[in-house]
Amino acid sequence: MSATPSTTGTVRAIFLDVDGTYADYGVVPEGHARAVRAARTAGHRVFLCTGRPVAMLPESILAAGFDGLVASAGAYVKAAGTVLVDRRFPADLAARAVRALDAHDAVYILEAQEALHAPPAALERLRAILDAHFSQSPEGPVGAADIFDAVRSTLDSAAVQFAKISVFDSPVSMEHLVQEIGGDIAVVANSVADEGRHAGELYQQGISKADGVAAVIAHLGIAREDTIAVGDGANDLEMIAYAGVGVAIEGSAPELVAIADRTAARPREEGLLAAFAELGLI
């Protein structure tokens, strides 16, 4: 869309985490969608910056309109219609990860941008875990269907080229899995359905949301000091530290709040609407 220059003449690039920041249990508050549309009308560029892959982003989350996205926590980046980054697990690392997860009968999703893949034996357990998590939403388990409906039952996991793995239930700890898999793999807390389970997101070491932010602004010619990043989770630490202005959602982990420049209220309070106004974006 054509954009009107902002009143200050400076175009800002805004990067929004999804779960717990832009959306609550997969549901976007109307005030948040309104804030995104107003910021873009003012000439700023707004991006989702999420651990979710593209296949886990339903139209209900994308509906406000964005200038691009950083997905899979930095492994996939698209801006102004151009794919800038698309990193997948190397074949040997992917094979070791799948082998270890299957050996422990873990419940997991292989996250590709095109689709989500899960072993057939784990599907019913996955559905139960997602339903239990999203049933906590005042809107009901809407977000569970958005994710589960995108999952394919995949027997040959070794044939899938994926960017990240979400583990929803494992009989052994995530740290144990990381040691067993070996190589350049790391783990971060899972923002969906991690209550009381061994759960987490397995990703390639050296990839973060901050890398995605850097790729976007280099492509668009926007200065780092003109970036704003908003998040609430463990995988937001790097982008909050990197951005010109880092915003942590109230109630985030203490280490995230400690490095942020300011805080914003939670989605149920439409915190982004007030934060955008205070930052002069709308």
Give the model's pLDDT for residue 22: 98
Give the model's pLDDT for residue 29: 96
CA distance 60 to 217: 26
Pick one of 3.30.1240.10, 3.40.640.10, 3.40.50.880, 3.40.50.1820 as the CATH number of 91-204: 3.30.1240.10
- Domain ranges (residues) in the chain: 13-87+207-278, 91-204
Give the model's pLDDT for residue 5: 41
pLDDT per position as a tens digit, 111-164 = 999 999 999 999 999 999 988 888 887 766 667 887 888 899 998 887 899 999
What sign does the CA torsion over 212, 214, 219, 221 have? Answer: positive
Average pLDDT, the chain: 92
Task: Judge whether 2 and 205 are in contact, CB under 8 Å.
Answer: no
Give the model's pLDDT for residue 100: 96
> The whole model's pTM is what?
0.91
Do β-strands 164-170 and 151-153 pair in parallel, antiparallel, or remain unpaired?
unpaired
Give the model's pLDDT for residue 244: 98
* φ and ψ of 193, to 5 deg: 60, 45
Residues of the chain with pLDDT under 70: 1-8, 139-142, 191-196
**Which overall architecture, per CATH, does domain 13-87+207-278 show?**
3-Layer(aba) Sandwich (3.40)
DSSP states of 83-152: EEEE----HHHHHHHHHHHHHTT-EEEEE-SS-EEE-GGGHHHHHHHHHHHHTTSTT-SHHHHHHHTTEE
Give the model's pLDDT for residue 9: 78
Task: Judge whether 204 and 111 are in contact, CB under 8 Å.
Answer: no
Task: Judge whether 170 and 184 are in contact, CB under 8 Å.
Answer: no
Give the model's pLDDT for residue 193: 54
